[in-house]
Structure 1
Amino acid sequence: MSFFNSQTSCKRPTNFFPFLKQIRFLVQFSRLASTALLVSVLANPSLAASDIPNSDFNGDGKSDILWRHSTNGTNRIWIMNGSTVLTDPVINVDQNLNWKVVGTGDFNGDGKSDILWRNPLNGLNRLWLMNTANIVSSSRLLDVLDINWEVVGVGDFNGDGKSDIFWRHATNGTNRIWIMNGSTVLTDPVINVIPNLNRKVIGTGDFNGDGKSDILWRNLTTGENRVWLMNTAAIISNAQLPVVNDINWQIAGIGDFNADNKSDILWHHSTNGTNRIWIMNGSTVLTDPVINVDPNLNWRVVGTGDYNGDGRADILWRNATNGLNRLWLMNTATITSSSRLVDVTDINWKVVGNGTQYLYPPF
């Protein structure tokens, strides 16, 4: 049975997009844009930013969903409680579509996700510090005019409870971290140079549970996988993971699926629809259970986050052709609930800011 065609539908909010029927996923920006370990999400400097659920804009310990309209520049947040959309406020409209959301994270340590933007045409960068759907500060960051520099990850690399920015140069393979304090770049150390450009940063997560973000790599031609366990800009371990030679296996998300405070890896097979999780302990794959198989390849994973606040990562799906959306609430590799969310049939609406750069070809 397909979990996309069964289970419960959530109730449509009365104020949801009254003039639209819409949506879709990707990572994007406007002018000015990790993992589900649940802790009490308050302004607590002892918490690593990775302890805050992915895209938790109101600080309630539950992930929310950030949308951007790719043709009119509207930005909107779904404030979530499990599979229920509580509210769907518009943040703002910015019609300069050159601005792309390149990540979300808690940059000022207040327990609420903020939005990082980059303009890939002129190299300008901007940070929105957020309080639910309110932009409390919109700050221009340092310009990075060489557009070969790409933001490939957001995570808390020094464990200070504030998100940092991981950059990779697309032509020379240099890697650099901006250590952040709000909108201030404290330091910008080079980590390493990896001239093999087939190796891609897939995402960041805390794989060894030390409260500091690590970096997950995949070679898109050979199937080699590697994790850098990090301490700020120092690589304390550069470990090869099992090779996955079938390049149809794509890493679709990073999250803590078994609530052990260590990130795990979600895989999706792009031709047969199999879904599998690597349960991780540092660089060791403890188990690799299959979740399910769904041959309808129009469904794409567009995010992982802790939507019900149980400390375990869940999986957000979007159908690229009909605009349906579905949420799997997870307990390790068990789907405890598969709920149809509000339909968003305008495919110009994209889910943005969930962090993984090399999921699928764009739809």
Structure 2
Amino acid sequence: WRNTANGDIGIWLMNGSQFQEAVSIVPVSDLNWKIHGTGDFNRDQQTDLLWRNDSTGENAVWLMNGTEPNRGVLIQSELANSKWKILGAGDFDGDKNADVLWLDTENQNVYYWRMAGTDYIESVFVNNAPLDDTWKFQGVMDFDKNGYDDIFWSNTVDGKTGMWMMNENGYDRPVIAESVDLSWEGHA
């Protein structure tokens, strides 16, 4: 959780679906820095935090040790300018390192940054975003358990949900799933 008024950060510790406790960690008073995703960027089986400074375009990862930030690392890349929007993080190439999922807002193409830890390797084209802007990105998860995170979308008008299934070759196919009541918002 992030308090958007003062920069405080909290983590809920869960046991399955049961809330255990809330833990406060180091606040970030510069509200231009926003958390845009989580993933294991250094293969230590800890969930790390992906940040973007919406003012400068800088990107960073907090490498975590449980609920404590171990260190922050800036991601060096020439590609992160204002036309790019971070959608989230996931392991899209099956190497057990989190990658960064991006939307090019000028042409609606979706890419991911293939990462080796916190080092940018290359930009990989995934697919064109749904042309209809009623489809909204909701998250990433390995829905088919093949070792590659898939991309979850939902339609804000008719309640349809869908996934872009990923495999060793990248984007594989779309799958339209069940529709949900529009009063519910999905996240993966």
Give 5+ residue unaligned stretches, structure 2. Answer: none
Change (3 A) 1:322 1:246: farther
Q: Is the 8 A contact 2:13 2:19 kept in 1?
A: no
Runs of 4+, deviation exceeding 6 Å: none
1:188-227 residue pairs with structure 2 within 5 A? 188=23, 190-227=24-61
Which of 137, 141, 148 aligns to 1:301? It is: 137
Q: Which structure is larger by alpha-carbon Rg, 1 or 2?
A: 1
AA aligned to 2:51 is W
Q: Which moved more, 1:332-341 or 1:231-240?
A: 332-341
Q: Identify the structure with bigger relative contact order (alpha carbons < 8 Å, sequence gap 6+).
A: 1
Q: Give 1:202 shift.
A: 1.2
Change (3 A) 1:245 1:309: closer
Structure-2 separation of matches of 1:326 and 1:196:
35
CA RMSD of aligned residues (A): 2.6
Structure-2 separation of matches of 1:287 and 1:245:
12
Q: Is the 8 A contact 1:257 1:333 kept in 2?
A: no
Q: Give 1:272 shift.
A: 1.6
Structure-1 separation of matches of 2:80 and 2:103:
14
Structure-1 separation of matches of 2:159 and 2:19:
35
Give 5+ residue unaligned stretches, structure 1. Answer: 1-150, 152-167, 355-363
Change (3 A) 1:333 1:321: farther
1:1-363 residue pairs with structure 2 within 5 A? 151=1, 168-179=2-13, 182-185=18-21, 188=23, 190-242=24-76, 244-294=79-129, 296-298=131-133, 299-332=135-168, 334-343=170-179, 348-354=182-188
Change (3 A) 1:295 1:233: closer
AA aligned to 2:138 is V
Q: How many pairs were matched up? A: 184
Relative to its length, the structure with more strand (as a share) is 2
Change (3 A) 1:302 1:295: closer
Change (3 A) 1:246 1:350: farther
Q: Give 1:312 shift.
A: 1.1
| CA displacement, residues 2-43 of structure 1 (integer Å, 9 cap, x when unaligned) | xxxxxxxxxxxxxxxxxxxxxxxxxxxxxxxxxxxxxxxxxx
Structure-2 separation of matches of 1:205 and 1:258:
13
- State, as a whole percentage, how many aligned pairs show the same letter: 34
TM-score, with normalisation over the residues of structure 2? 0.82
Q: Give 1:218 shift.
A: 0.8
Change (3 A) 1:241 1:305: same
Q: Give 1:326 shift.
A: 2.7
